[in-house]
Structure 1
Amino acid sequence: MSRQSLAVLKGVGPKTIQALQHLGITTIEDLLTAFPFRYDDYRPQNLAELVDQEKVTLRGVVVTAPVLVRFGRKKNRLNFNLLIDNQAVLVTFFNQGYLAEKVIEGAELTVFGKWEAARQRLMGIKLLSFNKQEQLAGVYRSSKEIRATQLQKLVKQAYELYHGQISDLIPGKLQKKYHLLSRQQMIHDLHFPADQLTAQAAKRTAVYEELFLFEARLQYLKQIDQQPNGLKLNYDNQQLKKFISQLPFELTPAQKRTVNEICHDLHRPVHMNRLLQGDVGSGKTIVAAIAMYAAVTAGYQAALMAPTEILARQHADKLFHLFQPLGINVNLLTGTTSAKSRQRRELLQQLAKGSIDILIGTHALIQNGVEFKNLGLVITDEQHRFGVNQRQALRLKGNEPDVLALTATPIPRTLALTVYGEMDVSIINELPRGRKPVRTFWLKKNQLKRAFSFIAEQLKQGKQAYLVTPLVSESEALDLQNAEQLLTDAAKFFAPEYQVGLIHGKMKSDEKEQIMTDFTAGKTKILVATTVIEVGVDVPQASVILIVDADRFGLAQLHQLRGRVGRSSTQSYCLLLADPKTDYGRQRLQTMTETTDGFVIAQRDLELRGQGDILGRKQAGLPEFKVADPIKDLKVLETAQVDAAEIINQSNFGKTTETKPLDEYLQQQLQLELGFD
């Protein structure tokens, strides 16, 4: 039933299928689990029960002839009076003049609409036929291409045809333990509830099922990864200790702990799938470098994939200087390396022969033709920037290589269960010794010159500065205009003593590279930038960042941007320039001035925004739940995780009638995720 095409339904042709696909509905299963987000109550109410501005249903006798008033092009108003509880109530419909022929004096009518208490008026939404009385009606998410009423009819048709094929996915013992409905009953009662209590009971089951199935999928993936078919990297422990001892700084206790956790995984014959989570500037890169060195001493190659070319080049430069004295060959492959160039051909030949030990790159690493001789370790930086398929494609470049994902996006516990549930997590929860927290100040927009004066004082001390403008995704032209205006203002204030540069996303790669080279070398003292510098850019001499229109950034993004400074032992500063118009905007800026702890900020962001966009739209990897909310339903989520782990880890999982449907469902989901239909 789950993979059955929508084309089997009456009235569903190519256009309707396309419209449903835009709503994320591609199969009968999708349609039956596209639940209403609220219900309209079509049961008639008494006037004494009505609440102002709420939607209500009223039934009465028409006591005046309908009056249709036309005004403007295609605009009209229909008025009539209903007698309800011996009281006349005015009913008004806008732009539904065609209803006039159904409004007959002396006839009984049922009307659904919004109640206006001050005028004792019902703003009509629809006239109800008798079969809609005494029931709730689900309200569905719709689009311009497909109306909610059409969706409702398709759901009804699909349920009538396929309800007999709906299997329970939650094992019976858990259904009994939590007094849950069967899956068939749950789907029926969410779409066609008899009353509010019925709908609530069905939603309770649906919330648990959705969170349980999600956690079961993560446990299933984790179990597959932990099969003893991974690589066992027999690295040279003495060489590794010597390498760490010769670093120009001592690792923090947190870095030492995470290195031990990763090396323990590398040495096991079980596939590693580990997340290294640490705040901006906490030193994740050196931990990743130690892991790569371990892989190389074991005779394997390592690959690191970064989300932007700027970050990939920066990683390549750092690792080249770190490993060159040890005779380790580090190379870089990006999308700008021409597919037909001699340089690329030679690089790919060396990679296939095994003479390149470590390859750094962007998504170019997963293109066809990029073949490793013996890939043992795959690292993705800012892993939430890559989709599941991209991460999987890099992993498939080797024979079950170990996987290490890096992220500087702190995630509170309330979301860690949903974002990284299938991974083992290592956390670097302290900054390197000598680092000082960045001091953050919030200024009004008319204080730009004051901010410039402060920056000038920093420049006199040999420091550098970032000036950042927000991106307006709807208009690249406006983005550029904002950045160029800031460049003009800065040049006017700082020139000719200090050189001001500009970098933005529309520039060619070689232009961006040259600008970053000039800034890193100190030739350019001030860099005006869009959020292209958000992730990973590391210039220790940069001690101040000014963020213009800071209220247009999310908290997580502001924290990432602030992380571009404070990367040395000198005191650094973040200046937020904004006049927020909302409480939400003011709270975000206030939070930034109060703490530099990324985990505190992430939790605050979660409280302010809810789960919807905590890591950035679509890039986050955060699942879109249909009925559950992992913030409000955290206790259910934690219970579901424990239950899922217990069920999936049973030795007879999938072999009993109770667990077979769940096993088949999870196998199907895994195939879909990896692109197999």
Structure 2
Amino acid sequence: MKSIYDRVDTLKSVGPKRVQDLNQLGIETVEDLLLHFPFRYEDIQIRDLTEVLDQDKISLKGTILTDPVVSFYAGRKNRLSFRLGIGAQVINVVFFNQHYLKDKCQIGLEIAIYGKWEEKRQTLLGMKLLGTANQDTEFSAVYHTTKSMKQATLVKLIKQSFDDYKDVIEEVLPDEILDKYAFMDYMHAIENMHFPENQQSANEARRRMIYQELFFYQLKLNLLKYERHKTKTGSLKYDTNKLKAYIDTIPFSLTNAQKKVSNDICRDLLAPFDMNRLLQGDVGSGKTVVASIAIAACVFSGKQVAFMVPTEILAQQHYKTIQTLFQGTSIKVGLLTSSTTVKERKQMLLDVLNGQLDCLIGTHALIQEDIQFYELGLIIIDEQHRFGVMQRQKLKEKAVFQNVLYMTATPIPRTLSMTLFGEMDVSVIDELPAGRQKIITRWVKEQEMEKVLEFMKREIDKGYQAYMITPLIEESEALEDVQNAQKMYEYISEYFYEYSVGLLHGKMKADEKDDVMKRFKQNNIHILVSTTVIEVGVDVPNATIMVIQDAERFGLAQLHQLRGRVGRGDKQSYCILVANPKTEQGKQRMAIMVESQDGFYLSQKDLEMRGTGDIFGLKQSGIPDFSCADIIRDVHILNQARQDAMDIVHSQNPYKKKAYELLRKKTFDKIKL
């Protein structure tokens, strides 16, 4: 029986070599081929050239009036030229270094060409031959292809697959959704994505497919949350009096945001299903204190805690902070890193196995197989996007109760948060502790660098420390004017000859980086020249100056993270952005940084200006690779899709409704999270 899930080699003329070519585009099934949508369309209608401006990129169709001529020059370079009739007008067409098109350009042939118009010479500089002009359509789709898979071949295969399989394309959206938004049906949406008659039909098809992508993704996230809340695993019934007594020992008042988030976490632990919560907090908002309350609650229920962080420096920092907070309590905390001695490690593993150690803090070393817990009830993962999915899963497998608290200091806009973490419960600490001084931020031009260095010297003379951040480690041909860490280190060392200057960058070995940071924290290094490896979590209260070279090269989210490395104590701190932006957007970013210290506002602006990549900088962060949708441009559709998905999931017995049968199959079989 024919199905759109058939493999592409079931199509005529698709042999092993073509299968391989299609696989390179991520196409394995007929459905994959049908859903390989164009990224833009060319309007190939006959144009009135009097309305076309010089240097416009346009698509024209007309009749070839002269034999194509190929001329070779300067070795292997070549030029293909002929004359094209468009109605009563005649123009010249020139293709450079595409002599192989000659056989496709015959006198009398009606053809469509995409290129740049040169008004003075009445010439179209051909960029792409769109193929033989089709009298039935004035619109042509343009696809992402590879060297081995040409545009014309791909279009032919898509047309063949649609003609062969259109009768078995089933509707996947419920009737109430189709009626609510007046969507065209699935089969016609696919047809009009590939072969639209005009701009309106292309827009209507794309509107439906954008919604469908976002709806399926949100539906799966909500179904995962539904499943988790439906599956009873047991609750952690902690001693409330002991927890209150611990909170009373915290040497400062919690902010209202910290109290609210702590209550969220405690309710999760008491609930009969596993916790799966993301804790977002801006730089310096006090996430570690909240984590300590979660640890205490878990320990007072008789269970253990694993606290995994991405670097050894952060592990040591968390260990020191939590040890201090737990002074005077019975809670025992251990630290496990690559620096732990064999003897210490052996004893620690024994204590964890016997239940003598309540909380184990460490790096990815925690996932090693020989580490076994007596009864692990809570897992805390800091900066979770820095760990791979398998690393997180290995740690979860050690737990009796898979309660997981993820923490991040990267403020994530709500739009992106509900896309990335829709299956999680999300808590936000959006309030800074009382008494925290605002970091004074200034934007200066490179010509003012001497004044910056003089200011740094005055602060360092007072006993304070400074960071100097550069974008690159080594010289780069593409960015010759960008300062690099090595050159800056040499310059700063010479300028501040009476002080100790350190160098930190990503190409150093882990133990070398740890040694540099340890010396900086101990004030044995007064100025640290570094790339962005210091941007997350490092706490040096004596560092009061952050100078960022070529600041226009960074996104707002990254600049905010870097700025957050100072202002960790009670001393007035400063962030100096050294930048000569060449674009209006670059100037706007600098102005926004000076005006605002709200991480969530800055990350939203960053999302609008630079897209999703700059929030984390890594694809592994889990941002879906949508083919039609854009979560910034299509935020209103995302909100609609999310609400519709929630309505369906929270309706009675969403699994049993006949109308949702294909929808469930589509959601779980095809969408990978």
- Aligned pair partner of 1:234 in 237, 254, 261: 237
Percent identity of equivalent pairs: 46
The corresponding residue for 2:154 is 151
**Residue matched to 1:76:** 78
Check whether the contact 1:44–1:110 (CA below 8 A) recurs between aligned residues: no
Task: Write the letter of the residue equivalent to 2:500.
Answer: Q
The answer as to 2:542 corresponding to 1:541 is yes
> Is 1:627–2:590 an aligned residue pair?
no
The TM-score, its normalising length taken from structure 2, stands at 0.91
The 2-side partners of 1:269 and 1:108 are apart by 73
Are the counterparts in 2 of residues 350 and 356 from structure 1 also a CA contact under 8 Å? Answer: yes
CA change 1:404–1:84 in 2 (3 A) is same
1:581-600 equivalent positions in 2, closer than 5 A: 581-600=582-601
How far has the Cα of 1:20 moved from its partner? 4.4
The structure-2 alpha-carbon separation of the partners of 1:361 and 1:9, relative to structure 1 and needing over 3 Å to count, comes to: farther
Q: What is the aligned partner in structure 1 of residue 110 from structure 2?
A: 109
Question: Residues 324, 475 of structure 1: CA spacing in aligned structure 2 closer, same or farther, 3 A cutoff?
Answer: farther
Q: Deviations over 1:623-674 (max 9, x none)?
A: 222111222222211111111111112222122221011222333357x54x
Match of 2:201 in 1: 198
Q: What secondary structure is seen at the aligned counterpart in 1 of 2:659?
A: coil
* Alpha carbons 2:483, 2:550 under 8 Å: kept: no
Render the CA deviation track for 1:155-175: whole Å, top value 9, x for unaligned: 334434444443322211111
Q: Is the 8 A contact 1:231 1:376 kept in 2?
A: no
Paired with 1:473 and 1:233, the residues of 2 have a C-alpha distance of: 52
Q: Hey, what does 1:487 align to over in structure 2?
A: 489
Whole-Å separation in 1 of the counterparts to 2:22 and 2:607: 31
Question: Aligned partner of 2:558: which letter?
Answer: Q
Q: How far did residue 26 of structure 1 move?
A: 4.4
Contact 1:307 1:385 in 2 (8 A): yes
Contact 2:596 2:602 survives alignment (8 Å): yes
1:587 to partner: Cα distance: 1.8
In 1, the alpha carbon distance for the partners of 2:474 and 2:394 equals: 28
1:283 to 283, 286, 302: 286
Deviates more, 1:591-600 or 1:131-140: 131-140
Unaligned runs of 5+ in 2: none
Cα offset for 1:343? 4.7
Aligned positions of 1:227-626 closer than 5 A: 227-323=230-326, 325-334=328-337, 341=342, 343-471=344-472, 482-496=484-498, 498-626=499-627
Tell me the equivalent position of 1:93: 95
- Residue in 1 aligned with 2:211? 208
TM-score by length of 1: 0.91
CA distance 1:212–1:515, shift in 2 (3 Å)? same
| CA deviation map 1:230-250 (0-9, x unaligned) | 341111221211211112211
SS at structure 2 position matched to 1:632: coil
Q: What SS class does the counterpart of residue 226 from structure 1 fall into?
A: helix
Q: Are the equivalent residues in 2 in contact too, given 1:312–1:362 (CA < 8 A)?
A: yes
- Cα deviation, 1:556-589, whole Å, max 9, x if unaligned, reads 0110000001112221001112222222222222
* Aligned-residue offset at 1:50: 4.4
Q: Secondary structure at the match of 1:442?
A: strand
Residues 396, 665 of structure 1: CA spacing in aligned structure 2 closer, same or farther, 3 A cutoff? farther
- CA deviation after TM superposition for structure 1 residue 616, in Å: 1.9
| 8 Å CA contact retained: 2:4, 2:165 | no
Shift of 1:145: 4.6
Deviates more, 1:615-624 or 1:633-642: 615-624
* Residue range with higher mean Cα deviation, 182-191 or 389-398: 389-398
Task: Give unmatched runs, 5+ long, in structure 1.
Answer: none
Letter in 1 for 2:266: C
Q: Which residue of 1 aligns with 2:42?
A: 40
Deviation at 1:14, TM superposition (A): 6.1
- Alignment-mate amino acid for residue 216 of structure 2: L
Alpha-carbon contact 1:77-1:93 (below 8 Å) kept: yes
User: Offset of 1:389 from its aligned partner?
Assistant: 4.2
Aligned-partner Cα distance in 2 for 1:584–1:54: 25
Quote the residue 1:187 is aligned against: 190
Aligned length: 666
Structure 1 position 295, deviation (Å): 0.6
Rounded Cα–Cα distance in structure 1 between residues aligned with 2:348 and 2:416: 41
C-alpha distance in structure 1 between counterparts of 2:16 and 2:326, whole Å: 57
Query: Which deviates further from its counterpart, 96-105 or 427-436?
Result: 96-105
CA gap 1:515/1:327 in 2 versus in 1, 3 angstroms:
farther
Whole-Å Cα distance in 2 between the matches of residues 668 and 366 of structure 1?
30
Equivalents in 2 of 1:465, 1:17: separation in Å?
Answer: 57
Between 1:260-269 and 1:311-320, the stretch displaced more is 311-320
Q: 120, 123, 126: which is aligned to 1:121?
A: 123
Supply the distance in 1 between the matched residues of 2:474 and 2:390 (Cα, whole angstroms): 25
* Alignment partners' CA distance in 1, 2:19 and 2:354: 49
Partner of 1:113, secondary structure, is: strand
Q: Against the structure 1 CA distance between its residues 423 and 436, is the aligned structure 2 distance closer, same or farther, given a 3 Å change threshold? A: same
Task: Decide whether aligned partners of structure 1 residues 374 and 144 sit closer, same or farther in structure 2, where only a CA change above 3 A counts.
Answer: farther
